[in-house]
Amino acid sequence: MARILAVTNAAIAEAAAALGAGDLVAFPTETVYGLGANALNADAVARIFAAKGRPATNPLIVHIAQSADASALADTSAPAFARLAAAFWPGPLTLVLPKQPIVPDIVTAGGPTVALRVPRHPVALALLQAAGVPLAAPSANRSEQLSPTRAQHVVEGLEEAVDIVLDGGPAEVGLESTVLDLTEQPPRLLRPGHITCSDLEAVLGTPLAAGPSAAGPARSPGQSRRHYAPRTPLHVVENVWEIAALTPGCAVLAHTPPPVPPPSHVRAAAVLSAGSRAYAAALYESLHRLDSLHPSIILAEAVPEDAAWLAVRDRLRRASTR
């Protein structure tokens, strides 16, 4: 069984030593918990794929302690790189760049590019400093299941497949990082997140590439349609409380308040903020909770169509794909 460690200097040192020995350590980031291994140790990285049941075709994000560490792993000569790193690192932005030979092929799924990010969570940064190596870290969940926003979620999902879980409390952003491909000009969004297209465009001074890549779906191998899903079937609906009243044993994920009295059929409900960022921060936590109550179905209220909700809409759509 995984050991959950409260964050102390001794716990960071123990976790760093475990990483040095090729073990897996789950750690908090500001987005979700990551399942980390020494990115330069191909055998350790192979344990990540095994623990998650992740297809070898899906490359990993490599976490570094500071922007200056990027050039050892990737070609950072694109002018956009320096500007974006200065504006958003440490933070929830992942940049895809041409890889250097030192990065093992298993990390990049055999591809010529590597995804890099400097997380902004103090525990992640302390662990990176103490380990002294870049850390390959996908979200610390079984492949295709909900991402963890608490240490307890990691243990419930991965059980004995992870050695140590550093408990840094609930993740603040709650959705995985924005992924941006800098190997094309203009850069292309591969995964929407907390940092929005307009945030990126304001720094770049130019629009991002529109629509899917000419290189096809393989350009973003992790973006299979089904992802981030609870075990319970999830449907996105407009009039969620009306439909809930007709659906025995359902759970509701809403951002508008329930009618008074609440529908008697509803087994459990999570009423989140009507603001996209606070909603995002609570989304996975709420889905973990509703899922654990084994409802007949999770009815998720449709969210607004505007740009601020892009990342949330993306995750709800993937969670509802069977």
Give contact residues for ligand TXA (rule: CB under 6 A): 29, 31-32, 34, 58-61, 92, 94, 96, 108, 111, 113-115, 117, 119, 137-139, 176-177, 179, 190-191, 220-223
Binds 192: which of ligand TXA, Mg ion, none (CB < 5-8 Å by kind): none
Least distance in angstroms from the C-beta of 58 to Mg ion: 9
Q: Cβ of 21: how many Cβ atoms within 10 Å?
A: 11
Shortest approach of ligand TXA to residue 301 CB, angstroms?
A: 25
Pairing relationship of beta strands 251-254 and 268-271 according to DSSP bridges: parallel
Distance of CA 195 to CAs 52, 84, 225, 242, 280, Å? 26, 11, 21, 34, 12
CA 261, chain centre distance (Å): 37
> Which position's Cβ is nearest ligand TXA?
222
Phi then psi dihedrals of residue 300, to 5 deg = -105, 125
Q: Which is nearer to Mg ion, 125 or 146 (CB)?
A: 146
Contact criterion met (CB below 8 Å) for 222 and 59: yes
Handedness of CA 122, 222, 61, 2 (dihedral sign): positive
| Closest distance to Mg ion from the beta carbon of 54 (Å) | 8
Residue 71 neighbours by CB under 8 Å, 6+ apart = none
First to last CA, the chain: 30
319 binds, among ligand TXA, Mg ion, none (CB under 5 to 8 A by kind): none
Partner from Mg ion, ligand TXA, none binding residue 29, C-beta < 5-8 Å depending on class: ligand TXA
* Of 12 and 96, CB closest to Mg ion: 96
Question: What is the closest distance, in whole angstroms, from the C-beta atom of residue 73 to ligand TXA in the complex?
Answer: 11
Query: Residue 295, exposed/middle/buried by CB under 10 A (0-12, 13-18, 19+)?
Result: buried
| 60 interacts with, out of Mg ion, ligand TXA, none, CB within 5 to 8 A per kind | ligand TXA
The smaller minimum CB distance to Mg ion, of residues 139 and 177, is found at: 139
Q: How far is the CB of 27 from ligand TXA (least distance, A)?
A: 8
- Say if strands 135-136 and 234-237 run parallel, antiparallel, or are unpaired: unpaired
31 binds, among Mg ion, ligand TXA, none (CB under 5 to 8 A by kind): ligand TXA
Nearer to ligand TXA, 32 or 298 (CB): 32
